[in-house]
Amino acid sequence: IWVHDYHLMLLPRLIHTFETADEGLPDSPTSPHDGSMPGLSSIGKERSSKIIFFLHIPFSTSQIYRSLQHGEELLLGMLSADVIGFHAFDHARHFLNACKRNLGLKFQNRSGGLLGIEFKGRTVMVVMRHVSIETGKVERLLEENSTQAAAAALEAKHHGKRVVAGLDTCQRLSGVALKLLAFEELLKEVPKYRSSVVLVQRVYRPKNRLEDEDYTSRELQHLVKRINDTFGPVVDYAEVHGSRLADAERLGMWKASDILLNTTVREGLNLDCLEFVFAQSPEDPGVIVASEFSSTVSVLNGAIRINPFDVEKVAQTLDAALSMGLQERQGRSQRDLPYVTSRPSYMWTKQILNDMLTVSQNNDSDVTVVDLEVTARTPTRQYSTNSAFSLMDPHLVMDAYRKTNRRILVFDYGGTLREQKRLA
């Protein structure tokens, strides 16, 4: 059973309780008669089905879940799955810390590099799996006349100008206001861009957070008016009703753009940056300037990482991106293309299912790190001595070293090259 996203965080636990309870589903998960957490006694019992839970949005810090009235129940709901997946390591890290600090659970390093949480006699695997675009479909769309026409129309509209593109949801967490402030700062500091660069910004109005969208829309329109009144028509801004721009218009914008600027503050799954990489001409590719809080910046090595709150630095980075030479732009694009073209959704699905098989095949002998928790009371790590672990033979290492001409040396830091620091 594969459960998707935050709307269904409690579902794995309900499924588990239904399969292991003697009499069907328990009472409401938020109002047990005896004041205890419902279904908790059945969480460690065996069930016939396997459950995958994948979260497509960022996972908040442990402090957020500690402040929520039902924060522990949300965590227990997820822990009833066999595999818990995230798109980014930071999201998984926040989940592991929430389990540690709010539930007192410890996580382990399993064979194959997977992380596992021991909970009620079960091992719950935590994995990070990012999905890319469907390159075959995108390639066909890029060749369609409607896409070519959209790109040509945008180029004609802003003839002779470099295009900085942005496509975001009309919500404060998208950071569009920060983007406009950075663009305004760029025009103040580098006057030559006032007549040679335009920001093409489109924002979605999905109408699922009306108060946030209305506030953000008023703020963005105010900033756009201020910038255009000061510097002329340098911001091409439009709001799009719905949650997606038409394929031809979106891909046409990528083809006609020189830079994709992402200044999100918090973001879940977003494939726009990957589409941009694929849509660009390899002979003259554009550059991605992406927030360090975005979901894709950790997998796109060619993107320039920024902190969207540092407006002056973002403006300087935009200047560097606009001035970047062809060779560096091609190098950045070539670093990202292999990843973009090798992670279609079927591969992502296959990886998750393989993780499920790994859970089924793993046993206690696969554990190599007994305790990864490092606290002020337990500053050292404990290692098991199963057959899969053996001490390094320095003679074999030196023999291999002398026989080779090209070498890569990889070292751990905390706890290996230097003593693990105690946490305050």
Residue 43 lies in a domain: no
Same structural domain, 368 and 406:
yes
* pLDDT tier, 208 (very low <50, low <70, confident <90, very high otherwise): confident
Q: Look at residues 224, 108, 111 and name the one whose alpha carbon lies nearest to residue 166.
A: 224
Flag whether 83 is in a domain. yes
Tell me how far apart the alpha carbons of residues 25 and 6 are, in angstroms, rounded to a whole number: 21
Residue where the block lists tokens 């403006």: 315
Of the listed ranges 69-78, 177-186, 265-274, 382-391, the one predicted with least confidence:
382-391
Task: Judge whether 389 lies within some domain.
Answer: yes
Number of domains in the chain: 2
Per-residue confidence (pLDDT) for residue 375, from 0 to 100: 35
Assess whether 212 and 358 both reside in one domain.
no
**Are 153 and 292 found together in one domain?**
yes
Give the residue from 294, 315, 341 where a domain finishes: 341
| CATH number of the structural domain spanning residue 101 | 3.40.50.2000
- Specify if 358 maps to a domain: yes
Regarding whether 80 and 63 lie in a shared domain, the answer is yes
Residues 6+ apart with CB under 8 A from 408: none
As given in the structure block, the two tokens for residue 150 are: 């959209």
Q: Which stretches within 80-114 are classed as H helix? A: 89-103
User: What residues contact residue 90 under an 8 Å CB cut-off, 6+ apart?
Assistant: 58, 298
Residue ending a domain, among 341, 374, 389, is: 341
Mean pLDDT for the stretch of residues 312-323? 97
**Does 252 lie in the same domain as 155?**
yes
pLDDT 10s digits, 72-95: 999 999 999 999 999 888 888 899
Q: What is the pLDDT of residue 174?
A: 95
In this structure, is residue 272 part of a structural domain? yes
pLDDT at residue 130 greater than cutoff 70: yes
The residue among 11, 4, 7, 8 whose CA lies nearest residue 25 is 11
Pair 171, 100 in one domain: no
Same domain, 62 and 174: no
Of 139, 212, 210, 143, nearest to 171 (Cα)? 212
In terms of domains, do 171 and 190 share one? yes
Same domain, residue pair 382 and 335: no
102 lies in the same domain as 80: yes
Q: Which range marks the domain in which residue 307 is found?
A: 135-341
Tell me if 25 is assigned to some domain.
Answer: no
Assess contact for 81 and 51: CB atoms under 8 A: yes
Does the residue 30 lie in any domain? no
Is 42 inside any structural domain? no
Shared domain check, 234 and 179 = yes
Average pLDDT, the chain: 84
d(CA 29, CA 43): 13
- Final residue in a domain of this structure, among 341, 369, 394: 341
Q: Which residues pair with 306 in a beta bridge?
A: 291
- Tens digit of pLDDT for each residue in 218-227? 999 999 999 9
> If you write DSSP's letter for every residue of 243-293 in order, what string do you get?
S---HHHHHHHHHH-SEEEE--SS-----HHHHHHHHS-TTS--EEEEETT
- Note whether 324 and 367 are same-domain residues: no
